[in-house]
Amino acid sequence: MTIFVRRLVAAVTLGAALAGCGDSRSTTGLSAARSAPASPAAKASAAATAPGARAPGPPPTTAAGPAGLTPVFERARSTAGEKTVALTFDADMTADQGPRAARGERFDNPALISSLRRLKVPSTVFMTGRWAEEYPDQARSIGTDPLFEIANHSYSHHAFKSPCYGLPALDDKAARSDVERAFAAFRKAGARNTVPYFRFPGGCYDDRALRALAPAGVTAVQWDVVSGDAFATDADAVAEQVLAGVRPGSVVVMHCTRSAAPVTGEAVEQIVPELRRRGYRFVKVSELIER
């Protein structure tokens, strides 16, 4: 199966599972995906790192894309003899889901974070600003733990390209403001391990979105492995899908939203030991981009 077909199948599979909700993923615009030599990010906070990871300092970004577009990172180049993989977790919450949270719906997943800590898995959490506002103590705990880094998943989880699985769309000015508002929410919560990376809600973007986001100075991060954890009820199936898709340098997209991805923690308990048995080392996205 060609790379293009694998990506298309992954996008269709995940989109079907998530269509009609505010927690959707797609991979439109993948032809724009590219990576370039690392460069410092002036506006980024210094990211703490886990033992054995890269030295402390400004997290790397990719160089600006053609015509000034925001660069897009999807998977690291393969390096002979090195098997690394990044598990990423989207902490989704829209700006209008406060009433649902007040009624007891849980958009957090502290048990998952505890599992990652116990298993000592460096991870990147793509967090919405609204999630950080709803759970500031958790945002601060994650954002001060050297095992993790917090990346931007927008403030509102609105779309940056339309159509995008029914998500309300932002215009160019509102898009940049939404990203900046999320970073402000992380700072207010006390999260220090923030990195200049951004994941488009729904995974939906085009050149217009990349151009609108360019002034924010971020690298857009997609993925090459769809976990299928959104609304899944079978942890074994999620684990099998991840294990079947991981290759050296892979970025795996998962979720840190208990109501929308209830079996993610169980799946991680299977995925981590098996990938380690296969010789993989877990890294944060910043380490993949640095290569």
Domain for residue 60, yes or no? no
Number of domains in the chain: 1
pLDDT of 19-34, one tens digit each?
333 333 333 333 333 3
- Does residue 197 lie in a domain region? yes
CA distance 162 to 160: 7
- Taking residues 214-231, report their average pLDDT: 96
187: in domain: yes
Residue 44 maps to a domain: no
The answer to whether residue 193 scores a pLDDT higher than 70 is yes
User: Is 70 exceeded by the pLDDT of residue 15?
Assistant: no
pTM: 0.81
In a domain, 177, yes or no: yes
- Can you tell me the mean pLDDT for 154-172? 95
> Taking a C-beta distance cutoff of 8 angstroms, is the pair 112, 88 a contact?
no
**φ/ψ (deg, to 5) at 127:** -110, 140
Using 50, 70 and 90 to split pLDDT, how confident is the model at 42? Answer: very low
Confidence of residue 37 (pLDDT cuts 50, 70, 90): very low
Q: In this structure, is residue 260 part of a structural domain?
A: yes
Output the pLDDT for position 95. 84
Can you give the residue range of the structural domain that contains 95? Answer: 3-34+66-279
Sign, CA torsion 211/216/217/218: negative
- Is 48 contained in some domain? no
Any idea which residue has 């299928």 for tokens?
228
- pLDDT higher than 70, residue 41: no
pLDDT tens-digit profile of 47-103?
A: 333 333 444 456 766 555 556 799 999 999 876 678 999 999 999 999 889 999 999
Q: How far apart are CA 164 and CA 150, in angstroms?
A: 24
By residue count, the chain amounts to 291
Assess if residue 53 is contained within a domain: no
- Mean pLDDT along residues 161-171: 94
- Report residue 11: phi and psi, to 5°: -65, -45
Per-residue pLDDT band at 291 (split at 50, 70, 90): confident
Taking the CB of residue 37, how many other CB atoms lie within 10 A of it?
Answer: 9
The four Cα atoms 186, 187, 191, 194 give a dihedral, to 10 degrees, of: 70
Q: Count other Cβ atoms within 10 Å, centred on residue 243.
A: 15
Q: What's the burial of 22, exposed, middle or buried (CB within 10 Å: 0-12/13-18/19+)?
A: buried
> pLDDT tens-digit profile of 246-282?
999 999 999 999 999 999 999 999 999 999 999 999 9
Among 11, 31, 82, residue whose Cα is nearest residue 248:
82
Asked if 210 contacts 174 with a C-beta cutoff of 8 angstroms, the reply is: no
Share of residues in the chain with pLDDT > 70 (%): 77
pLDDT for position 74: 94
- What CATH number does the domain containing 193 carry? 3.20.20.370
Q: pLDDT tens for residues 172-182? A: 999 999 999 99
